[in-house]
Structure 1
Amino acid sequence: MRIEFLLFITITAVSSVLSVTYYLLNSYLSRKRNTPKEKSEGLTPQDATIVITVFNESVEHLKRAIASVRDQVSEIIVVGDGVEQPYLSMCRDEGVTFLSTGIHSGKRKAMALGVSKVKTKVVVFMDGDMIPESDAIGNIMKEYSPRVGGVGGNITFDTMDGKFVSYASQFIERSKEIIQRSMKHFGSVMLIDGGFGSYRMDVVGKYITSPEFYDFKIQGNIPYYGGGDDADLTSYIIGKGYVATKSFEARVTTLPKDSIKSYMKQNIRWSRTGWRTFFKSLRNGSLKKANKFYKFEQIFTYTLPIVFLVVILLKGLIFLEVLHFRGFIPAIFSMIGFHFHGHISNLDILYRLSTTSSAVASMVFAGSVATRTLKNRLKTLAYGSIGAGILFIATIYALFTYNKA
């Protein structure tokens, strides 16, 4: 037997065991009720300031965002990333603070400027197209205990337009929710989403206003304006020994991208940030300070695409070899199963068992995603599976280009 056959089946079997464990464990834990490990610190919405950074956001969307949180927090600060109008006039009309960085310097510089004016215990970063529910900030604040350094909200995508991108985005977000719910049982979640995330000022204040954060450069010399602040801050507070968690009752609705092209670009940008943060957490030791389940989720998430890529390449190699020696029909057949010496071998049984169990486990996981989807579940699952494929391609592409801006 050629080595590529044995290698292919071995990798398939091992990855299948890990995948089954991953899908079933996340599906099971996501259904269990999360109970707070420590008593709430008693912070209220008045202990929070919202910072919204804007560059090219819709004024109408921003107005709606401000209106949704106006009565929930102590203060709202809008920071223009090198822009003033029409945001300055709108903020004056709405009675909220407006600041400008003067020149376009990226989201991180705008965040730093906003944070420099925050006087409350907690800062909430919110995108200008987010619409939190009326109790969102209150639910965020309930999660704070002395060991919690940051709390994120539960983001959902508006699917009213019925477009593919809307349902694909919703599917990915609900998949992330399943994983984050599971991780919360053990401590920190993987990401406090930058669209609606809060942090303790005494933990992140000095860091955000330092050049290390706001003057972030790729490879040490390429200025980066593409964000990644949420992954950076999540990793930072975990590295400092605090818990990064989420309030799944703090529901926030946002708009999806308007085209498949922009959806793809967004996923590539997010994936690059994910890879950079993952490698950074390995280098600086912040991953070591996280709990074991967090480590499992992180390592599995970032090794799975590589394993899938290797499996695809090995399967392609096998197909080409069989095509060369035995013809097209046997080559097609080799993509389904392995038959040696005219009968079904033990390796073929192992292969089929591995792929079948992985498929069943992934279907269970998809069922868990469906339970978190309130509307058009079948459409969300159908479009979401395609969206997941796009995300896989974006993740692999990002791996080989993660040092690009």
Structure 2
Amino acid sequence: MISNFDRTLSDEDVLRRRASLLQRLHIDGWLLLLLLILGTGSLFILYSASGKNVDLLIRQASSFGIGMLAVVVIAQFDPRFMARWVPLAYVIGVVLLVVVEVMGHTAMGATRWINIPGVIRFQPSELMKIIMPMTIAWYLARHNLPPRFKHLLVSLAMIAIPVVLIAKQPDLGTSLLILASGAFVVFMAGLQWRWIIGAAAAVVPVAVGMWYFVMHDYQKRRVLTFLNPESDPLGAGWNIIQSKAAIGSGGVLGKGWLLGTQSHLDFLPESHTDFIIAVLAEEFGLVGVCLLLLLYMLLLARGLVITAQAQTLFGKLLAGALTMTFFVYVFVNIGMVSGLLPVVGVPLPFISYGGTHLVTLLSGFGILMAIHTHRKWIAQV
């Protein structure tokens, strides 16, 4: 029952007065709860995996705080407003990748960063994880679906440019993830079956071409090690062998927090980044891994619900692509750590250490919240 005072207000004003604080802030409560649980729990795992490194823990917590601030800020923007700025964001992203190619900062044999001394050092490739699906969703949403062949070619060209630039850094893992984020949008736009079958048939020749002309020697060794880790147990196969040992030694309940031997005795390399789930499995066992997978499944389920309820084609394509790309992050990391996939250097979402990666990941969930909460106001008004 609307009061006389309420009748003097517009319908939208009434709805906003009666909305909860989270609704007024355009924050999805379920996503917020799951993100906070993952972010808080990850600090305990990272503290152990990093050898009780407090400075690293503080940096990760700071990155998580910045990422959550990005979630709140991004959620305030209407997706239609975002769509207007997508082309400019894509151009800026590609230009930054070219800058990396020309004068990027090199570390550990790879040139992936732009370093402004005393200000910031960041990876432009991380930004493309968000910009790529937004760009393809913006382009395809402007045309009738399913996409015509010329629109498909344009989409593939826009995907290929940053993918090639990132692969040259070299960063094969990130380039494949960005390729997947754009491909998910194209797939959800409604591809004809003959194109899907053609793409599947092209996998083998493309893989052969990448092996001979794109992949570096260390990347080839990773593939060979994946096929037979025991062929070089003290070299390229060391990571996988020690990771499997850590996962298996945890049993059902694990050895207990801070009591893992593989990571604390330095048998497990990259224990605080790519292989952090091995630390989780060793210290918290099968139960801990299953709880983490449950949280991931709830995030994926919420993302799919938001995708189904999106009212614009741009929002539906973008939400679906962000959700499925998040699934790929989880699947690839767990697959490579457990020996089911080659090692490609993909961090575990929210758990692995990494500032730019964490902020970018949270920004994607901020976009999901914007798509969902702005949908509510449109529907009610």
TM-score normalised to structure 1 length: 0.25
Which is bigger in relative contact order (C-alpha 8 A, separation at least 6)? 2
Whichever structure has more helix as a proportion of its residues is 2
Question: Whose strand fraction is larger, Structure 1's or Structure 2's?
Answer: 1
